[in-house]
Chains A and B, each alone.
Chain A
């Protein structure tokens, strides 16, 4: 029977073995350091390369923008006309959407007046405050008219308060009322 034994015996002195281990560790450290520096240089060169590519792309994009701007210059007058038109239309529709308050007040009073009541004087200002002088022989109609003026539905929310300034009865039996309406 052939029997072989592999026996490894480190005959190096302990001090020498420590030196070798130390050298191995240092070589590993050197390897890591080199890898780190290599990665760093790789990253730096990649970023520089990307920067060059991006610069070219930026220049291309800017030249495209300049081209579009130059083309747009041809339509400058059309654009200006369109802008002015839009501006004008906006202003016109804004004014048209806000009807004249004094006219609304005048129309509302005319609507509510009874045939027996005659309007002698009516003054309506810009804020739809109104002064009225009315004459009528029919006290009931006058009373109803006053009630209508105070009714939110009938006065279309145009009147916030009604003040009777003067109320008198003439020799001929005609009533004369002076009213102050505050616009709502």
Chain B
């Protein structure tokens, strides 16, 4: 009886019911299955493209690294670390200035050092050396220039010069800013592009290497250290 009613009702409204039973599942399948699936397809397509791109970049990077002369890089790095060391090197910079002072007949009467300060704009740190000097005023300009153009990265920050009249003598208080810089601790990710040493960089490195002072390492014989009686 029920079946008959159902069939009668269905045959009466079949023009509305059949499309309804087709359209609704179509919409549901389209929205819940087809659309997410298509979106996933597109996103995984992009993912594949990006992974392939990364692989190409890495392979190019590997190729470039294979062509890099490691020995040359190490030599250049050693030069740049002498020009701009990572640590405070009061003794070295003082020694350099002392040598220059001797070269230009200046006498270093006194010196003072400051603590290390970080530069705000650059990745550099610097400390200052304040030098009391006495020497010929005719050579003062050349002496100042020699400090600025020195192999070790330093700059004359302040100058206070007194020159007595009719004498080729000057007393100078020269403040020299000496730079140092920390070595970067992170080298980035594998995808970080490889930095290129440009022609200008090569020229600078050649120039630095040619002005590099020859360091003769002195072997100091090691004797017994300390005193048995410090008050002696």
Contacting A44 at CB < 8 Å: which of B37, B59, B162, B181? B37
Q: Is B84 an interface residue (CB 8 A)?
A: yes
Q: Is A21 an interface residue (CB 8 A)?
A: no
A91 near B122 with CB under 8 A, answer yes
Q: Chain A 148-184, CB within 8 Å of chain B: the 1/0 string?
A: 0000000000000000000000000000000000000
For B48, list chain A residues within 8 Å (CB). 54, 57-58, 61
Q: Is A121 an interface residue (CB 8 A)?
A: yes
For B148, list chain A residues within 8 Å (CB). 99-100, 103
Q: How far is the CB of B96 from chain A (nearest CB, A)?
A: 16
Can you list 15 A-B pairs, Cβ within 8 angstroms, ordered by A?
Answer: A26-B18, A61-B51, A61-B52, A69-B58, A78-B68, A86-B201, A88-B181, A89-B204, A92-B84, A100-B157, A120-B162, A121-B162, A123-B158, A123-B161, A126-B158
For B219, list chain A residues within 8 Å (CB). none
Please give 15 more A-B residue pairs, beta carbons under 8 A apart, in addition to A68-B55, A102-B156: A48-B37, A51-B44, A55-B44, A78-B70, A79-B194, A82-B65, A82-B73, A87-B183, A87-B184, A89-B197, A91-B122, A107-B144, A120-B164, A122-B159, A125-B158
A91 near B84 with CB under 8 A, answer yes
Contacting B157 at CB < 8 Å: which of A71, A95, A96, A126? A126
Cβ-closest chain B residue relative to A75: B65
Q: Give me the interface of B with A, judged by CB distance under 8 Å.
A: 14-15, 18-19, 21-22, 25-26, 29-30, 33-34, 37-38, 40-41, 44-45, 47-48, 51-52, 54-55, 58-59, 61-62, 65-66, 68, 70, 73-74, 76-77, 80-81, 83-84, 122-124, 141, 144-145, 148, 153, 155-165, 179, 181, 183-184, 187-188, 190, 194-197, 200-201, 204-205, 208
B15 near A26 with CB under 8 A, answer yes
Q: How far is the CB of A95 from chain B (nearest CB, A)?
A: 6
Q: How far is the CB of A141 from chain B (nearest CB, A)?
A: 16
B187 near A83 with CB under 8 A, answer yes
Q: A102-B157, A106-B159 are in contact. Are A88 and B14 (CB under 8 A)?
A: no
A85 near B80 with CB under 8 A, answer yes
B201 near A89 with CB under 8 A, answer yes
For B45, list chain A residues within 8 Å (CB). 54
Contacting A92 at CB < 8 Å: which of B18, B33, B83? B83
B65 near A91 with CB under 8 A, answer no
A65 near B15 with CB under 8 A, answer no
For B200, list chain A residues within 8 Å (CB). 93
Contacting B179 at CB < 8 Å: which of A26, A93, A95? A95
Please report the C-alpha to C-alpha distance between residue A137 and residue B34 in the assembled complex, in whole angstroms: 99
Q: How far is the CB of B63 from chain A (nearest CB, A)?
A: 10
A44 near B33 with CB under 8 A, answer yes
Q: How far is the CB of A145 from chain B (nearest CB, A)?
A: 16
Contacting A120 at CB < 8 Å: which of B38, B70, B165? B165
Q: A88-B181, A92-B153, A103-B145 are in contact. Are A82 and B83 (CB under 8 A)?
A: no
A102 near B40 with CB under 8 A, answer no
Q: How far is the CB of A81 from chain B (nearest CB, A)?
A: 5
B160 near A82 with CB under 8 A, answer no
Please report the C-alpha to C-alpha distance between residue A51 and residue B165 in the assembled complex, in whole angstroms: 92
A82 near B204 with CB under 8 A, answer no
Please report the C-alpha to C-alpha distance between residue A93 and residue B205 in the assembled complex, in whole angstroms: 10
For A68, list chain B residues within 8 Å (CB). 54-55, 58-59, 62
Q: How far is the CB of A29 from chain B (nearest CB, A)?
A: 6
